Structure 1
Amino acid sequence: MSAILPPSERIWWKQPIDRAEGTWVAIALVWCLIMFFMMPYWHVYGKQNYKGEAYRTTPAAFSVKVEEMVQNHTVRHVTDRNIPVVRPPAGSDVYLLARLWDWYPALELRKGETYRLHMSSMDWQHGFSLQPLNINMQILPGYETVITITPDSSGEFTIVCNEYCGILHHQMLGKIYVVD
């Protein structure tokens, strides 16, 4: 039987199936079942899905929280734009603000300590992508997204905006420094 020519009988499901075609249908079905059961399993045991919270906020209210944290916990400034590096106490609430085309402030966290990271956008939708760990979240204006984090390795981590936010989107980078 050829797939190019129309079937001689109009009831196509009563036509015999070729062995190769049946094999591929069986492989596809098995793969679909594997993926169907792996998705909920990975959601629970994969440790990649944040179990965070989200609250309504306003840009003005969130900005006040960020500036209060910056005033109380700044340890130094980095880059030519003089961005403050904030070292909050372990177990505290940490605030990270997204705005055109900046993550503010840079954070310095201690390895093995737990923090509640609050994030919000001042203007557009931004994407929070922590590299090289591949943690991805959407940061929306009007919402304060909160996740609990415990850094388990030292180093310098880059925050990349992965939602297009305008002409300088490619320069929207932030830093998280994790120290021992």
Structure 2
Amino acid sequence: MFAPPRVWWRPLDRLERTWLLLAFAWCLVLFIMMPVWLILGRHNVPATTYRAAPAQFQQRVEEFVRQYQVGTEKGIPVVEPPPGDVYLLARQWQWYPILKLKKGQTYRLHVSSIDVQHGFSIQPANLTFQILPEYVYVITLTPLTSGEFSIVCNEFCYIGHHVMVGRILVTD
């Protein structure tokens, strides 16, 4: 058996050194830009969180539905609340209830899950959050266009995940 030569690698030539330095410099730029973009980017959604037991949050949502229900669609209540606090519940495999909001009004959307982790994504607005049991996310929301917006679960929540679609209706 022969031992490998003492210097078994080939030293970098000028072109390889240049590309290596460029890659390292680009990594440094991206690393520095992360905190800069966090502070100056102004793209973070204004949201706060608080803790609530899933049963307690579900009870609050049921009270909200009883107070503001204006109809049903396929067995799911449609609520039309005034500007202020609105509640949305995630559970396998449903967003509950359907929200009917007014364009230009500001709402504080309280969202939580009562069972497993869900992904909350309003489409086509592309607003995305991770929704966890025992945590209520309060999202300040002011609809600027009227229409129908889909709420999609973008976190796999078991076998019925693909049918977990809710709706927000925005009227003038």
TM-score range, shorter chain: 0.7 to 0.9
CA contact under 8 A between 1:115 and 1:149: conserved in structure 2? Answer: yes
Instruction: Between 45-54 and 58-67, report the one with greater CA deviation.
Output: 45-54
Report the counterpart of residue 118 of structure 1 in structure 2: 110
Give 1:105's match in structure 2, choosing from 89, 97, 121: 97
Shift of 1:166: 1.4
In structure 1, runs of 5+ residues without a counterpart are 1-5
Q: In the aligned structure 2, how far is the partner of 1:124 from the partner of 1:59?
A: 10
- The alignment of Structure 1 onto Structure 2 pairs a total of residues equal to 169
Report the counterpart of residue 96 of structure 1 in structure 2: 88
Matched, 1:27 2:31: no
CA contact under 8 A between 1:48 and 1:135: conserved in structure 2? Answer: no
Matched, 1:127 2:119: yes
CA contact under 8 A between 1:66 and 1:97: conserved in structure 2? Answer: yes
CA contact under 8 A between 1:59 and 1:121: conserved in structure 2? Answer: yes
CA contact under 8 A between 1:128 and 1:160: conserved in structure 2? Answer: yes
Give the secondary-structure state (helix, strand or coil) at the position aligned to 1:9: coil
Shift of 1:122: 1.0
Report the counterpart of residue 76 of structure 2 in structure 1: 83
Give the secondary-structure state (helix, strand or coil) at the position aligned to 1:123: coil
Give the secondary-structure state (helix, strand or coil) at the position aligned to 1:64: helix
Q: In the aligned structure 2, how far is the partner of 1:31 from the partner of 1:7?
A: 34
Give the secondary-structure state (helix, strand or coil) at the position aligned to 1:128: strand
Give 1:155's match in structure 2, choosing from 147, 151, 155: 147
Matched, 1:64 2:59: yes
Structure 1 residue ranges (4+ consecutive) displaced by more than 4 angstroms after TM superposition: none
Q: In the aligned structure 2, how far is the partner of 1:54 from the partner of 1:162?
A: 20
Cα pair distance change 1:37/1:155, threshold 3 Å: farther
Give the secondary-structure state (helix, strand or coil) at the position aligned to 2:167: strand
What whole-Å deviation, never above 9, does each CA across 1:47-95 have from its counterpart, x for those lacking one?
A: 44233222111122111211111111122222xx2211212111x1110
Cα pair distance change 1:117/1:166, threshold 3 Å: same
Shift of 1:7: 6.6
Q: In the aligned structure 2, how far is the partner of 1:36 from the partner of 1:158?
A: 35
Aligned-CA RMSD value:
2.0
Give 1:9's match in structure 2, choosing from 7, 10, 23: 7
Shift of 1:97: 0.2
